[in-house]
Structure 1
């Protein structure tokens, strides 16, 4: 399984409610906070919805 590191790089102040909930589901609260995940279809879908707010790196 491929691993990715997701880092929050933009604020969610003007983001929609669903985008804010997706960021919370990823565990990203403050800017520059990061979390590592196995790249499952569910995680890939969440990342796709908030790709303009995060930076994704393969590990």
Structure 2
């Protein structure tokens, strides 16, 4: 089963921008996240979502 990572940068929970590798997260951190996820049985692919997030994806008001 594939799994998606959705790292975001947030200031006030009303905005969400993607955490871009080598800009907001070091590439080494992204690689470690992928390695850790791939140790879970049944996961064969890790996707990294770079789309902006609407506020309801982060916090319910």
Query: TM-score, structure 1 length as denominator?
Result: 0.27
Task: Report the structure, 1 or 2, having the larger helix content.
Answer: 1
Task: Report the structure, 1 or 2, having the larger strand content.
Answer: 1
Higher Rg: 2
Greater relative contact order (Cα < 8 A, sep 6+): 1
